[in-house]
């Protein structure tokens, strides 16, 4: 078991200077960001012209005789960040910075965040203005996911997949399934619908065929977008650092694990017990009420919980009907406020974001975050021991390294309920956290001296995402089944923290100050830090995206922290000073009275100051020596 005193885990906040007058843009081209997989406008391409709005005619409805939950794919999807990934103001602000930092980098961002516009050949320069069609802002649309093809051919897959894969092999762009991620998806050039069902009674999709696709129920379906390496860098094993690759050329090995590991959610999952045996949750916290056995394995198990209901507004027709285990397209994660910002900034006719949908989505996110961890608090004499256990399918938190964080807030209260001492105080008006006084879990990236020399960006901790080639810290809590060797191999080893093999929890110890009667311990999650938002606003020299994101962030309450776990415990008096029996910080008459009342043989008594099993003269002398 590893013990981390809070002081050991705390990071010194470095001042990150946003604007560098002498910054030189990295002379990359879109060639540096080239990835295998289906390339834009494949042969025989039928447009993704059917936007999510066309699907809503049938896949949007509220009355499907499940009174407890909305099951409509469209309504649930609309409230997910993936539906809004190209409208997300934080993303748009970050793309502007990426383009400033490395020429054409935005083309890579668009690939994953707006794959329909990208696949339609409308992303050529990396500029967001390339995405001019309204459908492009549908982000990861229904059509996109349901045109995705399994990279590994099997007899259960649609027969035409063999040709689709062969065409990629012939063109030299077949993506190695052992190295997924980086937007290396394969999609059907034809506008057919692939999904998990093999018993659809009636095809209402006109000319579009329905194909049964087991791949849609596998975690590897999510892999192309939920692992992200930066191809501007390649791992130098001899020197144990990342080197900048040659400009205007694809990554030399195209091995995702050689690239700078910006996000490793899929690989974290792949090297956890979830990918292997699965993890059984007797309390049913994940998976929904339609899950067959409560054993969580795939991403879909937790992020598309199953419930009773329908897929189509015409469920009352005999050929369609309801199902006991439909997959809810909620895709809740860690984003507590951006869905609200998208609601505020964009026309609801296109986003599907009514107030109800926003509220439902925010509630689901809060519920998932509460399910993500368990917290145990125990007093150990003058020490408060807190264990936070990660029950998510990957690191906690995972994904986006910039801005996400969790921390412990500990308040010690005296007998009148006043705060004696606080760790991790958060100012709800200024959005500032007293990080130095508590345990924070997070990842922070940095820029090496070498990259600094090349670009003029300050070395050290940095939010210049595409230029970062180091982790300053990554103390995020590993998942069940973690091993150091496996995580090292995927570039996701802990940095600035140690976790033993198998350890999927983190221990923190705090000293209990004298005079405390109660401890209130709260674990908070925050999606976006103020420092990151300030950076996006202040480092932007090209457009208004940073200011727009900042304004949206302020309007939505500056990413209010949400509670993951909270406990109040009554404390046994802490005798810091020998003789301060009631723990009020002074040795006085009250303590003397307690001592006298316990006089005589007394095992474990608070007045047995010398621990002799007897309250007597020695204890009295100790008390008197400290009197005052």
Question: What would the two tokens of residue 84 be?
Answer: 């809004």
Q: Are 223 and 266 in contact (CB under 8 A)?
A: yes
Contacts of 248 (CB under 8 A, 6+ apart): 27, 28, 29, 31, 32
Which residue from 165, 168, 222, 468 is in contact with ligand HEC, where contact means CB under 6 A? Answer: 222
Residue showing tokens 């990861």: 140
Is 319 or 572 the residue whose CB approaches ligand HEC more closely?
319
CA distances from 207 to 192, 203, 210, 380 (A): 8, 9, 10, 69
Which residue from 327, 458, 517, 608 is in contact with ligand HEC, where contact means CB under 6 A? Answer: 327
Which residue from 36, 288, 399, 579 is in contact with ligand HEC, where contact means CB under 6 A? Answer: 399
Q: Does 26 bind ligand HEC (CB under 6 A)?
A: no
Within 545-564, the residues that bind ligand HEC by CB under 6 A are: none
Q: Does 514 bind ligand HEC (CB under 6 A)?
A: no
Which residue from 10, 338, 384, 552 is in contact with ligand HEC, where contact means CB under 6 A? Answer: 338
Within 169-198, the residues that bind ligand HEC by CB under 6 A are: 181-183, 185, 193, 195-197
Is 420 or 549 the residue whose CB approaches ligand HEC more closely?
549
Within 465-504, the residues that bind ligand HEC by CB under 6 A are: 465-466
Q: Does 120 bind ligand HEC (CB under 6 A)?
A: no
Question: What would the two tokens of residue 190 be?
Answer: 């034809």
User: Minimum distance between the CB of residue 431 and ligand HEC, rounded to whole angstroms?
Assistant: 15
User: Minimum distance between the CB of residue 351 and ligand HEC, rounded to whole angstroms?
Assistant: 12
Contacts of 69 (CB under 8 A, 6+ apart): 307, 309, 328
Which residue from 232, 396, 413, 587 is in contact with ligand HEC, where contact means CB under 6 A? Answer: 396
- Residue span binding ligand HEC (CB under 6 A) among the ranges 130-138, 263-271, 484-492, 610-618: 263-271
Which residue from 57, 124, 383, 568 is in contact with ligand HEC, where contact means CB under 6 A? Answer: 57
Which residue from 55, 413, 493, 497 is in contact with ligand HEC, where contact means CB under 6 A? Answer: 55
Is 359 or 383 the residue whose CB approaches ligand HEC more closely?
359
Is 50 or 609 the residue whose CB approaches ligand HEC more closely?
50
Q: Is 11 exposed, middle or buried (0-12, 13-18, 19+ CB in 10 A)?
A: middle
- Residue span binding ligand HEC (CB under 6 A) among the ranges 1-9, 292-300, 566-574, 589-597: 292-300
Distance CA 85, CA 331 (A): 12
Total residue count of the chain as it appears in this document: 628
Which residue from 120, 143, 448, 506 is in contact with ligand HEC, where contact means CB under 6 A? Answer: 143
Give the binding-site size for ligand HEC (rule: CB under 6 A): 97
Q: Which of 92, 105, 45, 59 is nearest to 455 (CA)?
A: 105
Q: Does 331 bind ligand HEC (CB under 6 A)?
A: yes
Residue showing tokens 């059907």: 188
Q: Give the torsion sign (CA, 312, 316, 319, 321).
A: positive
User: Minimum distance between the CB of residue 71 and ligand HEC, rounded to whole angstroms?
Assistant: 9
Distance CA 31, CA 8 (A): 43
Is 268 or 580 the residue whose CB approaches ligand HEC more closely?
268
User: Minimum distance between the CB of residue 11 and ligand HEC, rounded to whole angstroms?
Assistant: 19
Within 70-99, the residues that bind ligand HEC by CB under 6 A are: 73-74, 77, 81-82, 85, 88, 90-91, 94-95, 98
Which residue from 118, 149, 161, 226 is in contact with ligand HEC, where contact means CB under 6 A? Answer: 226
Q: Are 457 and 451 in contact (CB under 8 A)?
A: yes
User: Minimum distance between the CB of residue 104 and ligand HEC, rounded to whole angstroms?
Assistant: 10
Is 57 or 277 the residue whose CB approaches ligand HEC more closely?
57
Distance CA 569, CA 585 (A): 20
Distance CA 357, CA 351 (A): 10
**Cβ atoms within 10 Å of 282's Cβ, excluding its own:** 6
Site string for ligand HEC, 303-322 (x = CB under 6 A): xx------xx-x-----x--
Question: What would the two tokens of residue 127 be?
Answer: 């500029």
CA distances from 94 to 48, 98, 140, 473 (A): 26, 6, 18, 21
Is 320 or 353 the residue whose CB approaches ligand HEC more closely?
320
Q: Does 232 bind ligand HEC (CB under 6 A)?
A: no
Q: Does 142 bind ligand HEC (CB under 6 A)?
A: yes
Q: Is 133 exposed, middle or buried (0-12, 13-18, 19+ CB in 10 A)?
A: middle
User: Minimum distance between the CB of residue 409 and ligand HEC, rounded to whole angstroms?
Assistant: 18
Is 59 or 444 the residue whose CB approaches ligand HEC more closely?
59
Is 343 or 404 the residue whose CB approaches ligand HEC more closely?
404
Q: Which of 295, 292, 299 is nearest to 277 (CA)?
A: 295
Buried b (16+ CB within 10 A) or exposed e, 242-270: bebbeeeeebeebebbbbbbbbbbbbbbb
Question: What would the two tokens of residue 155 be?
Answer: 């007899």
Q: Does 365 bind ligand HEC (CB under 6 A)?
A: yes
Q: Does 145 bind ligand HEC (CB under 6 A)?
A: yes
Distance CA 472, CA 245 (A): 21
Question: What would the two tokens of residue 567 be?
Answer: 């406990």
Distance CA 557, CA 530 (A): 11
Q: Are 583 and 607 in contact (CB under 8 A)?
A: no
Within 195-214, the residues that bind ligand HEC by CB under 6 A are: 195-197, 200-201, 204-205, 210, 212
**Cβ atoms within 10 Å of 235's Cβ, excluding its own:** 19
Is 286 or 535 the residue whose CB approaches ligand HEC more closely?
286
Q: Does 333 bind ligand HEC (CB under 6 A)?
A: yes
User: Minimum distance between the CB of residue 25 and ligand HEC, rounded to whole angstroms?
Assistant: 14
Within 567-596, the residues that bind ligand HEC by CB under 6 A are: none
Question: What would the two tokens of residue 574 be?
Answer: 């802490």
């Amino acid at each position: 078991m590893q013990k981390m005193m809070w002081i050991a885990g705390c990071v010194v906040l470095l001042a990150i200077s946003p604007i560098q007058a002498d910054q030189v843009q990295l002379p990359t081209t879109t060639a540096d960001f080239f990835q295998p997989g289906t390339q834009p406008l494949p042969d025989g391409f039928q447009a993704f012209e059917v936007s999510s709005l066309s699907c809503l005619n049938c896949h949007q409805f509220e009355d499907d005789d499940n009174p407890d939950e909305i099951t409509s794919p469209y309504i649930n999807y609309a409230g997910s960040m993936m539906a809004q990934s190209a409208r997300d103001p934080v993303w748009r602000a970050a793309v502007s910075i990426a383009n400033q930092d490395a020429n054409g980098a935005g083309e890579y961002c668009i690939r994953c965040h707006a794959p329909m516009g990208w696949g339609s050949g409308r992303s050529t320069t990396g500029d967001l203005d390339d995405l001019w069609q309204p459908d492009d802002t549908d982000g990861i649309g229904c059509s996109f996911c349901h045109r995705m093809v399994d990279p590994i051919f099997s007899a259960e897959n649609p027969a035409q997949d063999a040709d689709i894969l062969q065409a990629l092999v012939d063109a030299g762009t077949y993506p190695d399934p052992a190295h997924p991620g980086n937007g290396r998806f394969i999609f059907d050039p034809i506008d057919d619908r692939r999904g998990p069902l093999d018993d659809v009674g009636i095809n209402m999709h006109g000319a579009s065929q329905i194909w049964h696709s087991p791949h849609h129920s596998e975690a590897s379906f999510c892999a192309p977008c939920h692992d992200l390496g930066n191809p501007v860098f390649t791992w130098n094993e001899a020197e144990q650092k990342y080197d900048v690759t040659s400009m205007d050329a694809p990554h030399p090995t195209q091995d995702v694990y050689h690239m700078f590991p910006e996000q490793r959610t899929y690989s974290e999952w792949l090297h956890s017990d979830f990918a292997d045996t699965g993890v059984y949750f007797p309390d049913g916290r994940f998976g929904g009420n339609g899950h067959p056995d409560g054993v969580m394995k795939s991403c879909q198990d937790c992020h598309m919980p199953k419930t009773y209901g329908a897929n189509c507004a015409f469920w009352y027709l005999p050929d369609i009907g309801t199902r006991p285990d439909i997959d809810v397209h909620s895709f809740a994660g860690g984003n507590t406020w951006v869905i609200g910002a998208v609601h505020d900034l964009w026309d609801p006719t296109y986003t599907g974001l009514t107030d109800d949908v926003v509220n439902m989505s925010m509630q689901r996110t809060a519920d998932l975050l509460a399910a993500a961890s368990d917290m145990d608090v125990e007093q150990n004499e003058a020490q408060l021991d807190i264990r936070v256990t990660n029950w998510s399918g990957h690191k906690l938190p995972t994904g986006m390294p910039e801005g996400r964080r969790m921390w412990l807030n500990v308040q010690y209260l005296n007998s009148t309920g006043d705060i004696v001492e606080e760790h991790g105080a958060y100012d709800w008006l200024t959005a500032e956290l007293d990080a130095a006084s508590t345990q924070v879990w997070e990842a922070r990236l940095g820029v090496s001296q070498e990259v600094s020399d090349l670009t003029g960006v300050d070395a050290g901790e940095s939010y210049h995402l595409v230029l970062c080639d180091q982790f300053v810290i990554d103390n995020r809590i590993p998942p069940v089944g973690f091993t150091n060797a496996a995580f090292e191999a995927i570039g996701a080893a802990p940095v600035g923290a140690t976790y033993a093999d198998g350890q999927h929890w983190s221990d923190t110890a705090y000293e209990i100050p004298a005079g405390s009667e109660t401890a209130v311990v709260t674990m908070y999650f925050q999606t976006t830090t103020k420092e990151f938002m300030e950076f996006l606003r202040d480092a932007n020299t090209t457009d208004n995206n940073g200011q727009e994101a900042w304004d949206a962030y302020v309007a939505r309450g500056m990413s209010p922290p949400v509670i993951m776990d909270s406990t109040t415990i009554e404390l046994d008096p802490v005798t810091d000073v020998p003789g301060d029996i009631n723990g009020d910080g002074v040795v006085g008459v009250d303590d003397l009275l307690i001592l006298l009342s316990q006089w005589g043989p007394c095992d474990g008594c608070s007045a047995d100051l010398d621990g002799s099993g007897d309250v007597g003269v020695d204890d009295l002398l100790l008390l008197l020596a400290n009197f005052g």
